[in-house]
Structure 1
Amino acid sequence: MGNRVYVQLQRGFTLIELLVVIAIITVLSSILFPVFGKVREKARQTMCASNQRQIGLGFLQYAQDYDDNLPGRIYGGQTFRAALEPYLKSGKGVRSVWKCPSNADQKSNIDVSGYISTFTLNNTMDHFATWKPGLPLNSVGELSDKILMTEIKVRIWTDYNSPWWTPTPTSVATLGYWGYGQVAHNGRSNYLFCDGHVKALKPTQTITPVNHWTYACDSVTADDPAEPMLSAMHWLEVANP
């Protein structure tokens, strides 16, 4: 008898099995991709907070050298960012500490001193009036409770929440200037407080139950929530869930 050769055929995947595998991969991708996105944004938020903390140290060092006064918003022909440069030594470009990595805009936010920035001063009640020297720290109130700097998008402003921002918003469509506040960190913004610490908060958490925007020099009821910020922070949060 001649030699017999036995060939064992391997069974391949059926069409149904392939479709099941594709469906499983699709489901896993829909679950994991948003998670990866949130992880990446958390890393950018951490970098943003680190940048703000460095700026906070610059503010405090400046105050030590200038009799406990913060730098003026625009004073002596320069913005507060330029006034802090001797302490930060960070430069003006997109890789400086003045930039939040979550803000994709690289060129629009250039102030009159040439700084590209997505951080700006809390100017409630005109704390930091243009062409006036900076605010004394002892006029702020509880330093750990009051916002010094916030995030902003696609604007060259040196201020946020200035008193001429009217009227009170009644919807997302009527947010006006408040709508330029950046809320990029999973529904939160990073806020630098006057004692140098940074905290991520939802917009409404900055105004209620305690008003973190108004300073002691503004009102005897500086900690009470007040319009138009109460409405503005509500609609800003609605616009950035």
Structure 2
Amino acid sequence: MLPPNDARKERGFTLIEMLAAIAIVLFLASLLYAGVGPMLETSRRAKCAGQLRAISHAVSLYAGENNMNFPPSYGGVADPKHTWWWYNFDSPLAAYAGNTQTWMKITICDKNRSPAKVAASGVPGYPYAVNYNIMPTYNAQINFTVVKATQVSNPSRMILMMDSVKGDEWGWGFRDVAPEFKNWNRVSENHLGMANVLWCDGHVSAIRKSEVRSENCLIQ
């Protein structure tokens, strides 16, 4: 004789029970993300800072072999025949990073990468924004010239480059934080509301844009 059916064992989950279970899972997932998200972002910021330090090393090696001149952001500043941009494969800085492939990777923060080349930069992403007062570019209205390291009296307080924005507002660099220089909007607070800054002495720090002053950009 078969045992009687136990209705309680055969009963499935009710809709309310399933919704409650889903709500609990989503709540636990949100707690996990709240803890893991900032950790991942901190890791990205640290990687970005490491890339900036590697760029600083390449810049230092370049200066050591070029009469202590900082590299311009555009080669035409030093020689009209030079059409390279500082971050590209034909930049003289690439050789000091080991090889072209390595150089092309470290000049773009992970948050600004793109799976394909973008029209604004010509490379897979949006490279860091440089301080034009240290790494000058071509400008028909401004007589930019190559800058020597000896012209920077306080390199630990002078910006070399910073995190950049991506998209239509991206640009190679900036001149000052004052309102009349619109290209300050090219700098981004990429990492938890902070911007990674590479200073001329080679150290990297994370600060808010509002903390930057004109004296951090302009040669006195």
Report the TM range for the smaller structure's normalisation: 0.7 to 0.9
Query: What does the per-residue CA deviation read over 1:109-160, in whole Å, with 9 as the maximum and x for residues that have no partner?
Result: 436xx79651132125x76253855311121122122110112234674321
Alignment counterpart, residue 167 of structure 1, candidates 170, 180, 195: 180
Change (3 A) 1:94 1:141: closer
3-state SS in 2 of match to 1:73: coil
Equivalent-residue separation in structure 2 for 1:158 and 1:18 (angstroms):
53
CA distance in 2, matches of 1:205, 1:28: 37
| Deviation of 1:193 (Å) | 0.8
Match of 1:5 among 3, 6, 19: 3
- Report SS of the residue matched to 1:102: helix
Aligned to 1:204: 210
TM-score when normalising by structure 1: 0.67
Q: Which residue of 2 aligns with 1:179?
A: 185
- 2:196 alignment partner AA: N
Does structure 1 residue 123 correspond to structure 2 residue 132? yes
Give me the whole-angstrom Cα distance separating, in 1, the residues matched to 2:2 and 2:136.
96
Following the alignment from structure 2 to structure 1, what is the Cα–Cα distance between the partners of residues 69 and 103?
A: 28
Matched residue, 2:53: 53
* 8 Å contact from structure 2 (residues 173, 183) kept in 1: no
Unaligned runs of 5+ in 1: 169-175, 219-241
Which residue of structure 2 lines up, in the alignment, with residue 237 of structure 1?
none
Structure 1 residue 186: Cα displacement = 1.1
C-alpha distance in 2, partners of 1:148/1:213?
8
Cα distance in structure 2, aligned partners of 1:18 and 1:129: 62
Q: What is the distance in 1 between the residues matched to 2:183 and 2:147?
A: 24
- Equivalent residues in 2 for 1:1-241, closer than 5 Å: 5=3, 8=6, 9-10=8-9, 13-74=13-74, 75=77, 76=79, 77=82, 78-81=84-87, 82-91=91-100, 96-105=105-114, 106-108=116-118, 109-110=120-121, 117-124=126-133, 128=136, 130=138, 134-152=146-164, 153-154=166-167, 157-161=171-175, 167=180, 176-207=182-213, 211-215=215-219, 218=220
TM-score by length of 2: 0.73
SS at match of 1:192: strand
How far, CA to CA, are the matches of 1:127 and 1:60 in structure 2? 13
Count of paired positions: 201
Work out the percentage of aligned pairs sharing the same amino acid: 24
Q: What is the DSSP-based 3-state SS (H/G/I as helix, E as strand, rest coil) of the residue aligned with 1:80? A: coil
Q: How far apart are the structure 2 equivalents of 1:144 and 1:5? A: 84
Moved over 6 A (4+): none
Q: Is the 8 A contact 1:120 1:158 kept in 2?
A: yes
CA RMSD, 1 decimal: 3.3
